[in-house]
Structure 1
């Protein structure tokens, strides 16, 4: 099988997806507004992402696993997501997602959108409820950059043929590692440092960037 021509790695929340999924889960605990404020600070780069994530996940303690179908039903792909992923595949590319969000949601959403490979955090569970902790290492800024490099290496795609797309401060290392780093729907710090800024919140705007 020939190697893919290029690799596109997306952030999930507020990039490939319109939502911040952790806020949807927090709504199930009645703590959506509190978690939303903390998420916004993390995305602006005002606090350490891993520390912030653990604090926000603690606020999810007690949410039952039965809530996840309701959460998944509320997740909205960003306009143009399916069309962009179809365009990636039609040009012999790979579509990937690396997220500070959660496998519990992404494992349903990603394959439905046609994503080829994805990585995210996992939530710990006790007695069929979230216990307020993350299982294993947090997917932070360095883990995102490492995922891009790993997936490119596995598929023999040179880094110059990679594109990274993200919105928050925890995407900056991934954007820097890629051949082209795109700020999409992005916070000011990301807009300043990315190679390219895309303003319309429609992923079809990225199709002309594909090799």
Structure 2
């Protein structure tokens, strides 16, 4: 019986990549999107890609980032699937290689229980091109899930994960049920189930 579900955020719950939304605002959307695609396909180390993308949005006003975060679009069925899982007494947590500025707003809107993500470094309300946090490396999600399982006293088979990219592989290895959602091929190889329809309500078939 599943007791904990971990969702990736960008391109899993959120329709798109948070960093790309910020980059588009700064006029560097294509450059950031290209780096993101390389990282999610497993062709570029996540930390290296993260650092390059954050550097490209240096100079963004913190107030602009907050406003953009308020209006991030969600994948069809995001709110419904979280409600469905919680009705089944499953804790829902988000692990994001993106930013708390996005996941914190999403938590209020979607109703998941907690999120782990990263923070922009700012000075005088302006991003410096640096960032830090809980989800900066290829193995971050797996390490965090391992800690959560220990804290909550959960077995591997009591945990499920949903994600789309290469940096989700490490958390898939810590869970008993793994769903690759509209995912890159590198993650599909690690999944229990693959969903290619862009509707999160499809998860109900497996939980």
> TM-score, structure 2 length as denominator?
0.94
Q: Deviations over 1:177-197 (max 9, x none)?
A: 111111101001111221211
Residue of structure 2 aligned with 1:182, choices 167, 179, 201:
179
**Offset of residue 104 of structure 1:** 1.4
Is 1:147 aligned to residue 162 of structure 2? no
**Offset of residue 66 of structure 1:** 1.6
Distance in 1 (CA, whole Å) between partners of 2:195 and 2:127 is: 36
CA RMSD of aligned residues (A): 1.6
Is 1:112 aligned to residue 80 of structure 2? no
**Offset of residue 127 of structure 1:** 1.5
Residue of structure 2 aligned with 1:19, choices 16, 19, 28:
16
Residue of structure 1 aligned with 2:198, choices 197, 201, 204:
201
Is 1:44 aligned to residue 41 of structure 2? yes
Conserved? CA contact 2:164–2:184, under 8 Å: yes
Q: 1:136 to 1:96 in 2, by over 3 A?
A: closer
Is 1:80 aligned to residue 59 of structure 2? no
Counterpart secondary structure, 1:177 = coil
Q: Deviations over 1:33-64 (max 9, x none)?
A: 11011111111111100011001100010000
Is 1:162 aligned to residue 152 of structure 2? no
Distance in 2 (CA, whole Å) between partners of 1:141 and 1:98 is: 12
Q: Which moved more, 1:155-164 or 1:43-52?
A: 155-164
Residue of structure 2 aligned with 1:172, choices 169, 173, 176:
169
**Offset of residue 28 of structure 1:** 1.9
* 2:132 paired residue number: 135
Residue correspondences, number: 207
Structure 1: tracts of 5 or more residues without a match: none
**Offset of residue 13 of structure 1:** 0.2
Q: Which moved more, 1:164-173 or 1:135-144?
A: 135-144
Distance in 2 (CA, whole Å) between partners of 1:89 and 1:200 is: 22
* 1:191 paired residue number: 188
Structure 2: tracts of 5 or more residues without a match: none
